[in-house]
Amino acid sequence: MKVYKNEDAIHHNRPEGIKAMYYLFKEYHFVYVEQPPGTRQPWHHHNIIHESLLMVNCYSSGKRTVS
């Protein structure tokens, strides 16, 4: 098994405060996103790929609601 590290990713900081780390592979890509409370991700779509979301941590009103 190969382990990928933070420095292996392409980093992108968006103006609304969202931080994205892109891990690009031949047949797919994985994006790790840190999105601060109260921010909205801009609308976007994909013509070729499907997008799946996995929420690791979610904070609402300063309290952790999902783990």
Question: pLDDT digits over 12-66, tens only?
Answer: 998 888 898 999 888 888 888 888 888 887 777 778 777 777 777 766 666 665 5
* pLDDT surpassing 90 at residue 9: yes
Q: Does 18 fall in a domain?
A: yes
* Higher-confidence position of 3 and 53: 3
Asked if the structure places residue 1 within a domain, the reply is no
Higher per-residue pLDDT: 1 or 36: 1
Give the number of domains in the chain.
1
Tokens of 3: 């382990």
pLDDT of residue 40: 82
Q: Which domain holds residue 31?
A: 6-41+48-66
DSSP the chain: -PPP-GGGSEEEE-TTS-EEEEEE-SS-EEEEEE--TT--PPP---SS-------S-EEETTEEEE-
